[in-house]
Amino acid sequence: MITNATLVEPKASSRKQIIISLYAAIVTFLAYTSVYAFRKPFTVATFDGLEYWRIPYQSLLIIAQGIGYMLSKFYGIKFIAELSRLARWKTMAILIGISWFALFGFALAPAPYGIIFLLLNGFPLGFLWGIIFSYVEGRRATDIIGSALAVSFIFAGGFTRSVAKWLMVEWSVQENWMPFLTGLLFCLPLAILIFLMEKIPAPDSADVFERTGREPMNRDARKKFLKAFSVGVFAITLTYVFLTLMRDIRDNFMANIWNELGYGSDYSIFTTTETRTSVIVLVMMSFLVLIRRNIQALRLTHVIIAFGLVVAGSSSALFAAGYMDGATWMQLVSLGLYLAYIPFNCIFFERLIAAFKIKGNVGFLIYFADAFGYLGSTVVMCSKALFDIKLNWSHLYSQLTIVASMVGFTAIICSFVYHNKKYRLQKEVPYA
């Protein structure tokens, strides 16, 4: 057990620490990529011609899974914050099993009853990000490990959709069976990766010295943090809500957007564009590991988020005005979106905890922001479906991105000012 007496100032990373970091980055990246095979491939199926209550069946399925996912985020505020480090692999195995058997039920259920099974599929999947991230937080190398883990959902979204489209195009798999069979292909790899994650060593004393020890947060600890950082939490959550809107609608209706842009038969387009974004974002995020002072890294993270919002908003404005082609727009909006979105999932909260020496864990903060982010996304998708708004997805997404970027940019600047002021005051009245 690490105590205050055993904490020492960290020295340069040893060869062993570099190997551990690379190992953790690769294993968690592949693990979350495999998790995506149980979540997003069904969106490749458009279920053309099927409507219920004047709403396309595909939209109903996406909304149902989104509601399940959103509910898990709200419950996850408590569940992930209080997560024990013991037997995490059992928890993951049970949650994956439930989500996969829900896809089996979806394959057998006639429309529209598949809605029920997509709701059941979404709920257990919502906990897995927090569980996987708990293996790597609180380390000097968390920035680069977390960045690799975070970009996995950029790559995974494209890769698992390409696998799903391949099953449908090359093997003539029916739309209702495709999600279950895609999950089947990833069952064994995921089981192996869960075993390998269990072998990741815990943070050492130097990690704890530099990044603060991580521990479960009970109800009182959560309330104390929210009270102490209320203004910052509001600004961060507002930014994250709009980023989640941008990300979730693009993620769920990517196939529709590419169809409208003329790339419907190219199943490699998903992997190609998302892989480019993944590499660029991973390289940029990885440089943050070189910044030792946590408050400096937190400041720079604000700048990166603001820059990403500008890229996403400006490229969407150019596309909407007819000055940019659809493929270039999709690549740039992806880059801008994930430059802004990924830091929240791997660096922002990690450095916030370390800079202010908060006794807690990243999972609580991510799930608090995630819950409201997915609530906003669900409201938008439900509104479009229920009010029968006649807009194609590429037009809707470009307009939404312009508005979301402006609001998110304003909120992240407010967060930057607030946390800088908070840090100066901390020297007089430390957070404890």
In order of 65, 133, 154, 391, the CA distances from 119 in angstroms are 4, 24, 23, 26
3-state secondary structure of 310: helix
Q: 164 — phi, psi (to 5°)?
A: -65, -45
DSSP 79-104: HTTT--STTHHHHHHHHHHHHHHHHH
pLDDT digit of tens for each residue in the chain (432 aa)? 344 444 444 444 578 888 999 999 999 999 999 999 999 888 888 788 889 988 888 889 989 998 999 999 999 999 999 988 788 999 999 999 999 999 999 999 999 999 999 999 999 999 999 999 999 999 988 888 888 888 787 788 778 988 998 999 889 899 999 999 999 999 999 999 999 999 999 898 888 888 888 888 999 999 999 999 999 999 999 999 999 888 888 877 777 788 888 776 665 666 677 778 878 888 888 788 789 899 999 999 999 999 999 999 999 999 999 898 888 898 899 899 989 998 888 789 999 999 998 888 888 999 999 899 889 888 877 877 776 666 677 888 888 899 999 999 999 999 999 999 999 887 644 454
Which residue do the tokens 């408590």 mark?
78
Count of CB atoms situated within 10 Å of the CB of 121? 29
Q: Looking at the DSSP assignment, which residues form a beta bridge with residue 56?
A: 51
pLDDT of residue 213: 83
Whether the upstream peptide bond of residue 216 has omega within 30° of 0, thus cis, is no
pLDDT of residue 9: 47
pLDDT of residue 198: 95
HSE of 269, CA atoms in CB hemisphere, 13 A: 19
Q: Which CATH architecture has domain 14-426?
A: Up-down Bundle (1.20)
pTM score, whole prediction: 0.82
pLDDT of residue 7: 45
pLDDT of residue 270: 65
pLDDT of residue 427: 62
**What sign for the dihedral angle of Cα 284, 290, 293, 296?**
negative
What's at 296, amino acid-wise?
Answer: Q
Q: Which two tokens stand for residue 53?
A: 């209550």
Q: 51 — phi, psi (to 5°)?
A: -140, 145
pLDDT of residue 185: 96
CA distance 418 to 28: 33
Q: Where are the domains of the chain?
A: 14-426
